[in-house]
Amino acid sequence: MKKPYLTYALSAEGKLVHIDSVANGKECGCFCTYCGEPLQAKQGAKRKHHFSHLSGTECEAAYESMLHLLAKEKIQEAFYNRTSLYMEFEYTSFCNQDKCIFMSHSRRCSNKEKRRIDIKEWYDSCEQEISYDNIRRRSDLKFFSKEFPERKPIYIEFCVTHASDEAKLHSGNKIIEILIEDEDSISSLIESGLVEKSKTVGEEWEGRKIKIVAFYGFKTKDYNNSNINESVWLTRCAFMPSGKIYLSNEHCNCKQIKRKDHRALCEVVFSAHNRYEAYNYAYTICSQKYHISNCNSCRNFVTVSSWFDAPYKMCKMYKSLQLHLEDFRTTGSFDTSRAKKCRFYSQVNVILDDTVEYFII
C-alpha cells in the first residue's frame, strides 16, 4: 500500500509548516518531523504537493510523526482561535434502587444521554508536552485553568499507530485519547469536537471494536437517579383471611406498585414469571407470617395426575375425613380454608430459596 504524502515538515526554526507555504525544491529548508533529515518540496503540476527526503530513502515513521505533531498544533490553535471547543461523551445515570427485585442480574435500569461540554468554559490555557501531575509521563496537550488552578486539568493523548500505555490511561487523570488516521480526522475533531466514538474493524460479525475518541478518568455514570421508572412484569399473590391465595400476572410501573385487593391480609409480589413457584412461596410466606392454616400448605394436600384426566389437588386423608374424590376434581369446588379445623393438618416445611426475591405490601 502506497504511503500518504508528507504535507507538513519542520522549518529551520522548528515550526510545523505546510508544503504550500515554503519554497520549492531544496530551498524549502525543511526537515523530517521524525528522523530530522533534510527534505525537498515537490510542488509539481501532476501530483499532490508534498515533501520527500533528499536522501531518496523515505522514513517509515515520517507520516505518523507528522500527523502527531499536526494534531497537537491544530487542536491548540483551535482552542485559542475559536470561540468554543467541545467534548462529548455518553453519561449513564442508574436507578438509585440497588435492591430492586425487578433488576436483572445483568442489567440495572438506567438513562443514557450525550453530555456536550465547551472546554473553553472551564479552561483558559492549552500547552503542549506538559508533564502529568502525578506520574512521570508527558502529555501531548494539557487543558488547564490559570484562573482556577485547583481545577483538575484535561490531558490529550494522540495515537497514530500505538495506543497509550494502560498505566497512563488509568492513572486517575482526566485523559482523552484520540486515534488520528489522517489529516481529515484532525479537521473533523476541530469542527465536531472531541466526540466519543468507536468503529468496527473487519467484518461486522467477527470484527473488533477500536476506540477513535475515548475518555478516561471522567465521571461518566452515577447511581442516584430517582426518576427512572419502567413497566415490569410481576406476579401478585393476594392472601385472604380464609387462607386462600388469589394469584395474577400483570404489567405495572415499578414505582407505582400498590395494594390492589384491600380485603387481603397482604399481597406478596414476585418478579418471577413462574406462577406455580410464586403460588407455593406465597403460601409458605403468609402461613409463617399469619399462622393461618390452608389445605394448600398441608403436606397431605397433593397433586394427582393421570393419562385420562387433568391434574388436580386432593387430600390424601379424604377417606378418613369422609370426603368424596369428586369434591376435588372440579377446580374451585373444594374449600381449602377448612384446614383450620382439620385434625390431619400438617404444614409443609418449605425452605425458601434465597435467590427468589419478593416484597410484601
- Quick: pLDDT tens for 55-96: 888 888 899 999 999 999 999 999 999 999 999 999 999 888
Per the listing, cell 467484518 goes with: 203
How high is the pLDDT of residue 242? Answer: 78
pLDDT tens per residue across span 310-328: 788 889 998 898 888 888 8
Q: What pLDDT band is residue 1 in, cutting at 50, 70 and 90?
A: low
Q: Dihedral through CA 32, CA 36, CA 41, CA 47, nearest 10?
A: -30
Query: How far from 189 is each of 83, 111, 192, 260, CA to CA, in Å?
Result: 15, 27, 5, 56
Cβ burial 166-201 (10 Å sphere, 16+ → b, else e): eebeebebebbbbbbeebebbeebbeebbebeeeee
Phi and psi at 316, nearest 5°, equal -65, -20
* Contact (Cβ atoms closer than 8 angstroms) between residue 197 and residue 217: no
How high is the pLDDT of residue 119? Answer: 95
How high is the pLDDT of residue 339? Answer: 86
How high is the pLDDT of residue 208? Answer: 75
Tell me the average pLDDT of the chain: 85
Per the listing, cell 478516561 goes with: 216
Distance of CA 247 to the CA centre of its chain: 36
How high is the pLDDT of residue 163? Answer: 67
| CB-neighbour burial class of residue 92 (10 A; exposed 0-12, middle 13-18, buried 19+) | middle
pLDDT tens per residue across span 156-185: 999 887 666 676 777 788 999 999 989 999
Strand partners, 268: 237, 360
How high is the pLDDT of residue 56? Answer: 84
**Residues sharing a CB contact under 8 Å with residue 263, sequence separation 6 or more, in sequence order:** 238, 240, 241
| CB-neighbour burial class of residue 279 (10 A; exposed 0-12, middle 13-18, buried 19+) | middle
Q: Minimal CA–CA distance to 94: which of 260, 214, 222?
A: 222
* Contact (Cβ atoms closer than 8 angstroms) between residue 182 and residue 67: yes
pLDDT tens per residue across span 97-139: 877 777 765 678 888 999 999 999 999 999 998 777 666 678 8
Percentage of the chain with pLDDT > 70?
Answer: 90
Q: Minimal CA–CA distance to 359: which of 221, 252, 263, 207?
A: 252
In the chain, where the domains are located: 1-60, 80-225, 231-360
Interstrand relation of 174-179 and 301-306 (parallel, antiparallel or unpaired): unpaired
Top mean pLDDT of 109-113, 158-162, 270-274, 332-336 is at: 109-113
